[in-house]
A and B are shown apart, each in its own frame.
Chain A
Amino acid sequence: MPDQVLFAMEAAINGLMAGVLYALVALGFVLIFKSSGIFNYAQGVFALFAALTLVGIMEGQVPFQHLINAIFGTELHGFGWETPAILAVVLTVGVMVVLAIAVERLILRHLVNQPDIILFMATIGLAYFMEGFGDLMWGADIKKLDVGLPQGGSFWIEENTAWLGGDGFYGFFIDRLDIVATIAAAILVIGLTAFSQFTKQGRALRAVADDHQAALSVGISLRFIWVLVWSIAGIVALVAGIMWGSKSGVQFSLSLIALKALPVLMLGGFTSIPGAIVGGLIIGMGEKLFEFLIGAPFLGGATENWFAYVLALLFLVFRPQGLFGDKIIERV
């Protein structure tokens, strides 16, 4: 095979892997949208916050240490211990559950029956709040996250694919972290599907997604379901945060990467879990291939910034509900 084709293939494969990460963030959006009709803009910031909390706990940081130092003039830097990764993950899950409860108590409960767009804007406010809160709690510097996941290119794949091309080709370069992320995403999707199919809570969740009032009338507690869903979304955000954080450090731009999950959602449809995955893969592969084939040679590069949005926009003009979304039926 000519090398050019192989490089394109490599770009496509890496794009697929990046797509998995987009899909991980998009998954959190879909879960909340399905069950409560809320478009949770804060999902990306949740991922950032989860990752920040995880790093903070692992490194034994004192929460709000900068603030405390500023107010009381102390010189706190940390507790001086390090928490093992497993324990830290469990604690972070706890924090995300507390967060879910707080969101339900303080925001959702007061905004029942408001138009969707108001709720959407409330989550934008929540996103800003969380951004400032996370930074205030754990500091705004870029942090390294290492929970012991394998990283770096996989030599095994590189060696075993080198024979495909000529002398200029050294085999596919695939980050092992991306492979782990793919496996994690697969496990998450299978787990979530099993949860919603085979458990009582899962069934209640699907009932709420179907029809709020009918679910209420058969005795399902909406509040409990909302807390449950936001907790699950928090855990999904944690997984996404771990993957992104290990890849590029825990920093503010993490929440911007999450914006990329929005075109993924539009492409896949807001209400479909498989849609989130497929949309993620299409966007991830599409933008890498576009950059490789057209963007870098002809348009001066960095087309990844907007390609996903424009693709989703064009796609929506022809199919407004996305690939797998529910058909939009409008009545007066």
Chain B
Amino acid sequence: MFYREAGDFSTSYKEDSQTFPIRFDRYRYYVVLVVAFLVVPFVITDYWANAVFVPFLIYAIAAIGLNILTGYCGQVSLGTGGFMAVGAYAVYKLMTGFPDVSIVIHIIGAGFITAGVCILFGLPSLRIKGFYLAVATLAAQFFLVWLFNRVAWFYNYSASGQINAPEREVLGIVVTGPNTEAWAQYMISLVFVTACALLARNLTRGKLGRQWMSIRDMDIAAEIIGVNPLSAKLSAFAISGFFIGISGALFFAVYLGAVEVGEAFGINKSFLVLFMIIIGGLGSIFGSFAGAAFLVLMPVLLKNILVGQFGWATDLAVHIEFIIVGALIVIFLIIEPHGLAQLWRLAKEKLRLWPFPH
């Protein structure tokens, strides 16, 4: 009825290969953007920003980053938490070292620094593959967390070993530090998410993305048809690191404000982001968003139901959350290894034929 390609003609190659070729889809996308930019900031409250929107947006960037590495290039990484920590500490050092430069530049700089670190830890991927690589990235996770805990230079020799985000402004609006308004937190995250998603989408459907996918599907065959595994793998590590660094920087500077590295960027964070892309869908930008939304919303929901409605103890709710997350991952892998993104795709296929499927 409303989801048809009928009457929707492309008259140029450019039109034909756009992200949302169906008109309805395209308008839906614009509506989402308009709502996100023009409606939500005016109605958002502290609770919604802190519990739902800001973590969702920031995790979505991390999930996009990991999805590029794991979903598109096939290199499983368990070091996401460590790389997010690099982004957080990089932005902290930049913020305190160059207080006059805009925070936006700092965050992007943190992305580039993380990309460099990621390349370093990605080098072994040329020799090590599969599980061995997954375990090897654990080295990054544990080493980086240890490094930020031990070397006092990284946390500016503060007594507590924590890092605290100083107050910084963008266009005269406070975006970091304790005095930040909820909508400002939300807006800066949203701007970065939108930019990252656009960038990622366009990278993954271009030459680079095709190289990554050929490496993922079979690296030897890809090498034979002329894909350079060195540049393909390392570019995946670099770009993935760039996104993860930005998300780590936002996570620290905008969302948490104060960070203790082992707690905020431990091994659990690595798994959380990995789960996001599994549940959302490997090799899909939309999937990164869907997975992040799912895993951010579900604990909030469970907590509200179990603790708020039934009055159970919080630790029980946490255990049940573990069970549900674990079970969901297994169920998703069994029923739909391609995650929520694939369900969405199927739903769209069904919609095209609805209401006359035959």
- The answer to whether A70 and B128 touch across the interface, beta carbons within 8 angstroms, is no
Please encode chain B, from 263 to 293, with 1 for each CB lying within 8 Å of some chain A CB and 0 for all others: 0000100010011001000000000000000
The chain A residue sitting closest to B138, CB to CB, is: A309
Contact of B323 among A114, A117, A133, A270 (CB under 8 A): A133
- The answer to whether B333 and A313 touch across the interface, beta carbons within 8 angstroms, is no
Flag the segment in B21-29, B59-67, B312-320 that touches A: B312-320
- Which chain A residues border B350 with CB–CB below 8 Å? none
Query: Would you give the shortest CB distance from B147 to chain A, in whole angstroms?
Result: 9
Flag the segment in B10-18, B111-119, B216-224 that touches A: B216-224
Please encode chain B, from 169 to 184, with 1 for each CB lying within 8 Å of some chain A CB and 0 for all others: 0000000000000000
User: Cα distance A66–B149 when bound, in Å?
Assistant: 36
- The answer to whether A125 and B135 touch across the interface, beta carbons within 8 angstroms, is no
- Which chain A residues border B274 with CB–CB below 8 Å? 121, 124
Query: Would you give the shortest CB distance from A97 to chain B, in whole angstroms?
Result: 20
Flag the segment in A174-182, A204-212, A296-304 that touches B: A296-304
Contact of A306 among B139, B327, B328 (CB under 8 A): B139
With A135-B319, A306-B139, A331-B220 already in contact, the answer to whether A125 and B333 are too (CB < 8 A) is yes
A79 within 8 A of B: no
Query: Would you give the shortest CB distance from A302 to chain B, in whole angstroms?
Result: 6
Flag the segment in A13-21, A189-197, A217-225, A261-269 that touches B: A261-269
Please encode chain A, from 227 to 261, with 1 for each CB lying within 8 Å of some chain B CB and 0 for all others: 00000000000000000000000000000100100
- The answer to whether B142 and A305 touch across the interface, beta carbons within 8 angstroms, is yes
Q: How many interface contacts (CB-CB < 8 Å) are there between A and B? A: 149
B310 within 8 A of A: yes
User: Cα distance A114–B282 when bound, in Å?
Assistant: 15
The chain A residue sitting closest to B222, CB to CB, is: A332
- Which chain B residues border A200 with CB–CB below 8 Å? none
The chain A residue sitting closest to B121, CB to CB, is: A313
The chain A residue sitting closest to B131, CB to CB, is: A39
Please report A residues at the B interface, Cβ cutoff 8 Å: 39, 66-67, 70, 106-107, 110-111, 114, 116-118, 120-122, 124-133, 135-136, 140, 256, 259, 262-263, 265-266, 270, 299-303, 305-306, 309-310, 312-313, 316-317, 320, 322, 328, 330-332
Cβ contacts A to B, 9 pairs, < 8 Å? A106-B330, A107-B330, A124-B275, A129-B322, A129-B326, A305-B142, A309-B138, A309-B141, A313-B128
